[in-house]
Structure 1
């Protein structure tokens, strides 16, 4: 018996024959699913960043928790839900190495997302219309990165699926009277922060639209708010208590709170220009304007993904984009296309659909990204295709041959590093480090899957390093602007009783001195840096959890001068 109050429908229900629109136009939905699945399969790949998730999943399945290294609580992944979804898949299929599963699951979720999205848009515009034109579908499928990031091993497929499901639920709520549907939709929409932190903005827009469309009573509203916030708020409390900060570690590394407008516009232009996206965007804007004139009662629903996409674009411009070509713009592009994926086959729609079809065929055939000399934005798929020598790099074994020597060189209680000339240099590991040995990794994912879970990996770029992530370097290339110097490496992990300037024992650069190592080691023992070390390495207990929780706000704002002497003065005071 449903004891929850009913929600009055916002609009008059459509007649029975109008609700069966999907049966007459199901070929479009099926066609969209098959096309993205086929195109995604023939461009399948994973990248080094995907292997970061693989490493974390290995730690989870080994019983060490959601960490990158044993004994160091650093949240290296930016998609909590993707991380745990992969862990669940690995548990079900009995595979701790989920690299192959990641691209398969990503492709499955992308195809399912296209299915939900097209079905919802058909339902929104279909009514009694007998034929539809796949306008927005053509715009999406004409752009190669849409196919390529259908796999990649990253959370893009999950992102697509979540946005499509939110859209489907919102459209469905126009014809629903059930309070349970409102609460269930709120729960799904509230998952945005766990899909990716920036999807909090998209989730907020959809939740507001849900309230405006459903007009629930205050009791249902409270239930919906509780449902939307349950998992994100619960996990944020866990994050603060377990990791000791407010956001995933990569957000600190990329200085996500700062503004880089010029770089952001360059990043978006880097996506739009190679594919002449101004043409489909202009045409789809014209089509959207026509839709808004026809469907006055559905304007809120129709504009919701557009508003979410525009606000997300503004945020992306502010934070300066990313170093992966197209990756961070694709969710925005998908949102903007949702209301016009399919449209009733009027005369103008057919004409514009033909123009979009010609553009899509030409763009898919000849439109491609050409990396610039600055190398600030990379063609990730092309890079790893060349780097691994594989047409379809889809498993961790495709990446490991380039660094197999690290595994061969591994020995207990040793810190291992490869210098620019590919020489293996070592230092004796500090006694209290729980890992049996440590390796510094420039390719964090690849080195992580080579190394067993009881071997620690020090991230050269700071994505999983609590100290390196806080360096006060200017962000030029996001995620690749904070190199960890040997002074900090040795100060943090090397045995302090070993000779400091012994090239046979330490990975030393010519500019490294014993005084630098000593200054860095002293800085790590003082003030906020000492507390950061305790928050990530001290054994977890109720007291430690509470200390992490209450100090998370302050700890998140701590920055570290990369110069050991400056850092020593900042955290330890003047001698």
Structure 2
């Protein structure tokens, strides 16, 4: 007789990923990303000499001298107009004209906030109403790269750039559910700030505006309102730029020849970023993922929103490669990478995608823990790890204040103080000797200093002491010198002939050779030719546009002549320049 046994009761083991737990897990990813980038950014905090250029301009604004670098000379040294004015606002609120420390703290806060909004936008795109469990794919890619940590601070506009791209992305994702007129206009206004964040972000803003229209398909009245909101501030500021400065773009764009095509150097810049971190692995996976993931998106507007940052990132990447990249390792490629990863910062969980995310987690641990860009070796290289360079230069692991930089030019600082009350042009020559010559009449400053490190030189001198920019970032003539582009931003040294012609007393003897002069054997004839060229034709008008007292007539002449002035180039050889402009 068979023994009958009742079936054993089935005991169900509850899954840790219940419907109620999934939202908490997904939000925890966002919080973790914000906390980690804040910690990593703080550990690698710093400011660079270029960041101090913003600080000097902000000091002039807070001193009531306007958005200039020197008294009596209108030169726009700040590539990011919005970052400059945001720092000025912070300096005004905290009553701190030296915003060097504020700049890295604010940059870190904006980076962290940008990460939070970017991840939340991707979460909203993929989880939707179903609350799908998400995996941190793109977040791991960003957190595994040391340049992402380092440029979370730096004193530059990178944090603001990250925050702006994240806000635009988040607002586009929200538009799928809320296409009200108010939401459309607000989103368009925010996207329109792109050219003020950086001029090259106009490309990204254009793609985002197209995505906005395709997502909402607003009526023509709302379309016009959105276009007006997007254009209001950028167009208004461009009119101010043309009338006040007399050119179409910030002066560093002239100095760096931002319209050139240098594809070979651009691809070298891309490889310089990708190779040390084996970045080709996550990029290859990131290329395949959108094809797999976006087929799951239910609506056309979801696809538009998802592909918008990818298209913007590719366009920005092509532009950076076209112009030859930059001299700062990875810096100019970080916005494109951020945009490409936006829709896959988090991805829906599946068995295959879980395995892919595990591979990325192992790569991120290897990259963050062991992979490093080669340290500076003292040689002149076209691309540098700027943070490592300035940490070595200042002798501080985290140079975060202007006071960390100024001691490196203490000799110039002593010379500035010693020249008090005397009209002097001060230059650091061979073997760090300090050279001084009388300053010509007609300049508002009593003392002018030739600054090779433009930001540091600006911080060692009070606002009323002028800085002659050796590299042309703040010099209307130096920015236009027609040198072949070598190291971006460091291709147009101001030779002694131009230096003396523009700033020295004509009766003063020629200065001895300088460390950084292209020609060390400058002759009185060369100085005289350069001085003559500065008084002729387009060069004389360029000088007037920057130095003539501002009036309605001067503003109008600057505005109407801005296009032509932007195109003018100056031969480095004084005799050739004299022939070109004086005939």
Please state which band the TM-score falls in when normalised by the shorter chain: over 0.9
Structure 1 residue 374: Cα displacement:
6.1
Name the residue aligned to 2:119: 118
Name the residue aligned to 2:179: 177
Name the residue aligned to 2:561: 551
Is the 8 Å Cα contact of residues 425 and 504 (structure 1) preserved in structure 2?
Answer: no
Query: Where does structure 2 lack aligned partners over 5 or more consecutive residues?
Result: 1-17
Structure 1 residue 404: Cα displacement:
1.3
Structure 1 residue 23: Cα displacement:
5.0
- Residue 341 of structure 1 is aligned with which of 345, 348, 360? 345
Bigger shift: 126-135 or 306-315? 126-135
Name the residue aligned to 1:468: 478
- Residue 362 of structure 1 is aligned with which of 362, 366, 374? 366
- Residue 200 of structure 2 is aligned with which of 198, 201, 223? 198
Structure 1 residue 296: Cα displacement:
4.8
Name the residue aligned to 2:11: none
User: Residues 511 and 294 (structure 1 numbering): CA distance in 2 closer, same or farther, change over 3 Å?
Assistant: same
Matched, 1:437 2:447: yes
Structure 1 residue 24: Cα displacement:
5.1
Matched, 1:571 2:581: yes
Aligned Cα root-mean-square deviation (Å): 1.8
Instruction: State how far apart, in whole Å, the 2-side matches of 1:20 and 1:540 are.
Output: 63
- Residue 353 of structure 1 is aligned with which of 353, 357, 361? 357
Is the 8 Å Cα contact of residues 106 and 155 (structure 1) preserved in structure 2?
Answer: yes
Instruction: State how far apart, in whole Å, the 2-side matches of 1:111 and 1:158 are.
Output: 10
Name the residue aligned to 2:509: 500
Q: Secondary structure at the match of 2:125?
A: helix
Is the 8 Å Cα contact of residues 263 and 321 (structure 1) preserved in structure 2?
Answer: yes
Larger Rg belongs to: 2
Structure 1 residue 501: Cα displacement:
3.8
Name the residue aligned to 1:398: 404
Is the 8 Å Cα contact of residues 129 and 344 (structure 1) preserved in structure 2?
Answer: no
Query: Where does structure 1 lack aligned partners over 5 or more consecutive residues?
Result: 1-16
Instruction: State how far apart, in whole Å, the 1-side matches of 2:21 and 2:480 are.
Output: 56
Instruction: State how far apart, in whole Å, the 2-side matches of 1:488 and 1:510 are.
Output: 13
C-alpha offsets along residues 389-431 of structure 1, whole Å, 9 cap, x if unaligned?
A: 0011000000011111212111131000001311111111111
Instruction: State how far apart, in whole Å, the 2-side matches of 1:323 and 1:421 are.
Output: 26
Is the 8 Å Cα contact of residues 22 and 133 (structure 2) preserved in structure 1?
Answer: no
Q: Secondary structure at the match of 1:256?
A: coil
User: Residues 20 and 540 (structure 1 numbering): CA distance in 2 closer, same or farther, change over 3 Å?
Assistant: farther
Instruction: State how far apart, in whole Å, the 2-side matches of 1:109 and 1:129 are.
Output: 28
Q: Aligned runs of 1:215-364 on 2, under 5 Å?
A: 215-297=217-299, 298-364=302-368
Structure 1 residue 487: Cα displacement:
0.7
C-alpha offsets along residues 262-303 of structure 1, whole Å, 9 cap, x if unaligned?
A: 000000110011111111111122221111111152111110
Is the 8 Å Cα contact of residues 244 and 558 (structure 2) preserved in structure 1?
Answer: yes
Q: Secondary structure at the match of 1:416?
A: strand
Aligned residues: 555
Matched, 1:84 2:85: yes
Structure 1 residue 80: Cα displacement:
0.4
Structure 1 residue 503: Cα displacement:
5.4
Structure 1 residue 103: Cα displacement:
0.3
C-alpha offsets along residues 507-560 of structure 1, whole Å, 9 cap, x if unaligned?
A: 997511110110000000000000000000000000000000000000000000
Q: Secondary structure at the match of 1:457?
A: strand
Q: Aligned runs of 1:486-565 on 2, under 5 Å?
A: 486-496=496-506, 498-501=507-510, 510-565=520-575
Q: Secondary structure at the match of 1:124?
A: helix
Instruction: State how far apart, in whole Å, the 1-side matches of 2:23 and 2:204 are.
Output: 27
Bigger shift: 174-183 or 544-553? 174-183
Instruction: State how far apart, in whole Å, the 2-side matches of 1:137 and 1:330 are.
Output: 14
Bigger shift: 237-246 or 20-29? 20-29
Matched, 1:105 2:106: yes
Structure 1 residue 22: Cα displacement:
5.3
Name the residue aligned to 1:65: 66
Is the 8 Å Cα contact of residues 429 and 513 (structure 2) preserved in structure 1?
Answer: no
- Residue 143 of structure 1 is aligned with which of 134, 142, 145? 145
Name the residue aligned to 1:381: 387
Is the 8 Å Cα contact of residues 22 and 119 (structure 1) preserved in structure 2?
Answer: no
Structure 1 residue 178: Cα displacement:
1.0
Instruction: State how far apart, in whole Å, the 1-side matches of 2:381 and 2:153 are.
Output: 23
Instruction: State how far apart, in whole Å, the 2-side matches of 1:466 and 1:221 are.
Output: 40
Is the 8 Å Cα contact of residues 22 and 122 (structure 1) preserved in structure 2?
Answer: no
Is the 8 Å Cα contact of residues 438 and 508 (structure 2) preserved in structure 1?
Answer: no
Report the TM-score, using the length of structure 2 for normalisation. 0.93
